[in-house]
């Protein structure tokens, strides 16, 4: 007996759903276009820019996340990487902002990477940065990462962690990736437990071996994180350490900014500006936070901060800043929502911040800055941030073949209910927070 074809949202269903919303959307878009035209902004050009914006979905993001205390799996969760790709495809089909997928090794290991690449391509998806994992032990693994990985005191553990990253590069090559993201959980829980200098020395030496193994057109992203799982010291704790390490490791090594991986009051947009200035901004893990590495949905807590990050990115793009080509990925843990809905909403919030940053009057902003007109400069940013670009984003989605209202369309299609029938839960489905 052959398995029934998995449920997919049909183009007819989507067209009918859009048809009901189209007239009002176009009316709102025309009103916004006229308002923007009065400010010298061409809405049509903005639509084109928004249609070209893409952010990668992490494969683990389509499963329910969890906290340190529990995970509450939802119905119809993907049970393997192929089903994860089906869910990523729905997100791209409706929201049209996520054409790439960021895999995680070993969670996404398969026997046939050609089949995986073909499956993604059939969905119109391709693979972005590969994420390595030396923050947990795998079944059958010879040595434990309990006391660290790339910075471990024991050279054999470091060698094992290096070998894992080299395997990630090999898998990434088969998938068409061009980057490796390395986050290590290494650190210490007690003062005196670890030699702070030696631990960093060992990390940099191990990373040298990984950098040396990168193909010519590959980059490696160093991801820093202030604390957790280590609570006394963390080897790559901040952007300064990440930057200094990337400098020593050479031009292929760049810094990755996960928005949740900083001290609570840190000025993240300034960190972004600094990394751009030093040609070391590799990319982002987008999410939002209230307290720490909360991995909440992008733009759900501090949308103004997200806008300010994009303001720096657009500033760099307009200046044609040397070496500026950041990779964008979402990195969130969806504990109380349907992950597909959260990922669509997050991708749209990133597009919103991007569009708002694009409509900042850069000449007026610079003039105010040069004249020391503090409030005038601030108001230029606020004018852009308070502009509701929703109709413009909806038109961009519509023209790209997506949904005017992705979450409403997704719910109306009953995708999750279908998957709940097709995908009986299995034990040990991996999901995580990095």
Nearest CB to Mn ion, comparing residues 86 and 331: 331
The span from the CA of 252 to the CA of 135, in Å, is 23
Residue closest to 298 by CA, chosen among 307, 312, 287:
287
Residue closest to 293 by CA, chosen among 356, 341, 353, 227:
227
Residue closest to 123 by CA, chosen among 39, 2, 261, 8:
8
Q: Give the interface size with Mn ion as a residue count (CB under 5 A).
A: 4
Q: How many CB atoms lie under 10 A from the CB of residue 38? A: 7
Nearest CB to Mn ion, comparing residues 139 and 264: 264
Candidate segments 65-73, 283-291, 320-328, 361-369, binder of Mn ion by CB under 5 A: 283-291
The span from the CA of 332 to the CA of 357, in Å, is 23
Interface of this chain with Mn ion, residues 291 to 310, rule: CB under 5 A: none
Binding residue for Mn ion (CB under 5 A) from 86, 128, 258, 341?
A: 258
Q: How many CB atoms lie under 10 A from the CB of residue 145? A: 22
At 408, give phi and psi (nearest 5°): -65, -45
The span from the CA of 217 to the CA of 221, in Å, is 13
Nearest CB to Mn ion, comparing residues 329 and 413: 329
Q: What share of the chain is helix, strand, coil (3-state, %, to 5)?
A: 50, 10, 40
Nearest CB to Mn ion, comparing residues 331 and 338: 331
Please tell me whether residue 224 binds Mn ion under the rule CB under 5 A. Answer: no
Nearest CB to Mn ion, comparing residues 226 and 396: 226
Q: How far is the CB of 221 from Mn ion (least distance, A)?
A: 10
Q: How far is the CB of 260 from Mn ion (least distance, A)?
A: 7
Nearest CB to Mn ion, comparing residues 65 and 391: 65
Candidate segments 77-85, 186-194, 231-239, 327-335, binder of Mn ion by CB under 5 A: 327-335
Q: How many CB atoms lie under 10 A from the CB of residue 258? A: 23
Candidate segments 26-34, 59-67, 234-242, 257-265, binder of Mn ion by CB under 5 A: 257-265
Binding residue for Mn ion (CB under 5 A) from 17, 84, 202, 285?
A: 285
Q: How far is the CB of 295 from Mn ion (least distance, A)?
A: 8
Q: How far is the CB of 314 from Mn ion (least distance, A)?
A: 23
Please tell me whether residue 331 binds Mn ion under the rule CB under 5 A. Answer: yes
Please provide the DSSP assignment of 25-79 as one string. Answer: HHHHHHHHHHHHHHTT--HHHHHHHHHT---BEEGGGGS----SS---PPTT---
Q: How far is the CB of 68 from Mn ion (least distance, A)?
A: 16
Nearest CB to Mn ion, comparing residues 113 and 221: 221
The span from the CA of 267 to the CA of 276, in Å, is 15
Residue closest to 193 by CA, chosen among 145, 142, 251, 153:
153
Q: How far is the CB of 285 from Mn ion (least distance, A)?
A: 4
Nearest CB to Mn ion, comparing residues 330 and 344: 330
Nearest CB to Mn ion, comparing residues 25 and 332: 332
Candidate segments 113-121, 204-212, 328-336, 404-412, binder of Mn ion by CB under 5 A: 328-336
Q: How far is the CB of 331 from Mn ion (least distance, A)?
A: 4
Peptide bond into 106 cis (omega under 30): yes
**Is residue 282 within a helix (H) or strand (E), and if so which, with residue range?**
strand 281-286
Please tell me whether residue 86 binds Mn ion under the rule CB under 5 A. Answer: no
Q: Rule CB under 5 A: which residues touch Mn ion?
A: 258, 285, 331, 434
């Amino acid at each position: 007996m052959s398995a029934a074809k998995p449920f997919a949202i049909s183009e007819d269903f989507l067209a009918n759903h859009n048809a009901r919303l189209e007239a009002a959307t176009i009316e709102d878009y025309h009103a916004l276009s006229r308002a923007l035209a009065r400010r010298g902004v061409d809405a049509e050009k903005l639509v084109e820019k928004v249609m070209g914006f893409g952010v990668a979905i992490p494969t683990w993001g389509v499963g329910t996340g969890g906290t340190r205390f529990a995970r509450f799996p939802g119905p119809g969760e993907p049970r393997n990487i192929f089903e994860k790709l089906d869910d990523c495809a729905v997100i791209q089909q409706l929201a049209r902002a996520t054409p790439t997928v960021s895999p995680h090794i070993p969670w996404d290991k398969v026997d046939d990477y050609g089949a995986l690449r073909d499956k993604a391509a059939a969905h119109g998806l391709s693979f972005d940065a590969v994420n390595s994992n030396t923050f947990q032990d795998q079944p059958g693994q010879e040595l434990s990462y309990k006391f660290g990985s790339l910075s471990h005191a024991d050279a054999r553990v470091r060698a094992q962690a290096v070998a894992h990253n080299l395997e990630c590069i090999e898998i990434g090559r088969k998938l068409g990736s061009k980057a490796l993201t390395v986050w290590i959980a290494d650190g210490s829980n007690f003062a005196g437990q670890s030699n702070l200098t030696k631990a960093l020395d060992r990390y940099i030496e191990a990373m040298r071996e990984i950098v040396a193994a990168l193909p010519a057109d590959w980059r490696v992203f160093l991801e820093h994180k202030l604390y957790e799982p280590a609570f006394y010291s963390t080897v790559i704790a901040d952007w300064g350490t990440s930057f200094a390490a990337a400098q020593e490791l050479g031009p292929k090594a760049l810094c990755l900014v996960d928005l949740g991986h900083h001290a609570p009051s840190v000025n993240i947009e300034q960190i972004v500006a600094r990394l751009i200035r030093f040609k070391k901004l590799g990319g982002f893990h987008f999410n939002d936070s209230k307290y720490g590495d909360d991995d909440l949905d992008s733009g759900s807590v501090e949308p103004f901060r997200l806008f300010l990050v994009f303001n720096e990115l657009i500033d760099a793009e307009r200046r044609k800043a040397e070496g500026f080509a950041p990779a964008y990925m979402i990195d969130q843990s969806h504990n109380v929502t349907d992950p597909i809905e959260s990922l669509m909403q997050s991708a749209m919030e990133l597009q919103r911040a991007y569009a708002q940053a694009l409509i900042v009057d850069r000449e007026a902003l610079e003039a105010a800055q040069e004249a020391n007109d503090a409030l005038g400069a601030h108001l230029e940013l606020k004018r852009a941030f308070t502009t509701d670009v929703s109709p413009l984003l909806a038109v961009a989605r519509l023209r790209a073949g997506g949904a005017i209202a992705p979450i409403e369309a997704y719910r109306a299609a009953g995708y999750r209910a279908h998957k709940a029938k097709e995908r009986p839960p299995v034990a040990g489905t991996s999901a995580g927070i990095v």
